[in-house]
A = this chain, B = another copy of it.
């Protein structure tokens, strides 16, 4: 069976795994103070061009969103997100569980619009009864989005400018950040992105690690909340053996590995995209990253399902379905060739 269902089906990149092996017998400190965690944090700061940033490693993405959002918001605040944002739609209410509302904005292929954000904020403060409403205390975007789309630098500047005008931190969910930054349409480096937000996280789970996400508080605008690690512990999100995350991120941020393997996902995704296009497939939207969305006739979807695993996304109409094919850091050009052979060689 071929496998294009998602980007978290394999283990870790072999350099990551090897480092876990090589360091295994060392006695190390715990709870975030081991030397590999410290080294990883240093390398991430360097990669971000933010020597003053604070970096924290957390096991998973939903947990990361939950920890960042719930520790940064005041009790009376909620987080603004595209209605399609992961925090609004697919985290089983993890944000509300911590007492905060997700304030939905319209989604444009997964993205929010700076103008609509500004109108929303202006209307909120103009409303005479806004003290009986949930205050917008953070703006959340995902980059790339849940639909594989990315923000161009100008768009991000627009959003961040509104955030600064209203003194609201901008938080970027980078579960697939490597794929967003290395895709061909990207016009931003990691350092440029780090300048255009307050907090973001660099996803490891979907980009070469067994697990782990790296939260970056840029500190230029936003410092971590007080006693952040105590709050991480309080939310059940602290690993005793922090080395598990530290070693992995140390490997991923050595010699640009994170970006190299991200580029592989993009290269194979673009190959796959061209392949689908060459066979006349219909795309749901134009994604520049590792997630590609097709509109398939239901009967064809069923037939394809016999030879390749891919994701059901959403119903398109009574006879068609939107499906997702995803590549990852582990996908090879041979995998794409096999996919073409399996689907179109008849």
Contact = CB atoms under 8 A, between A and B. Distances in A.
Contact of A92 (B28, B62, B132): B132
A63 B24 contact: no
B211 A244 contact: yes
Interface string A105-125: 000000000000000000100
Secondary structure dominating the interface of A? loop
A9 B28 contact: yes
Contact of A93 (B17, B27, B67, B78): B78
Given A99-B99, A131-B229, A20 B92 contact: no
A96 B241 contact: no
- Which of A236, A309, A312: most chain B Cβ within 10 A? A236
A167 interface: no
A75 B234 CA distance: 9
A12 B211 CA distance: 16
B94 A96 contact: no
30 contacts: A3-B27, A6-B30, A8-B240, A9-B27, A10-B24, A11-B20, A11-B24, A11-B25, A11-B241, A17-B20, A20-B20, A27-B309, A62-B233, A63-B236, A63-B237, A65-B236, A67-B236, A70-B75, A75-B234, A78-B96, A92-B233, A93-B134, A94-B233, A94-B234, A128-B312, A131-B230, A132-B230, A205-B241, A211-B240, A236-B236
Q: Which 6 A-B pairs have the closest CB atoms?
A: A63-B236, A11-B24, A3-B27, A92-B234, A93-B134, A92-B233
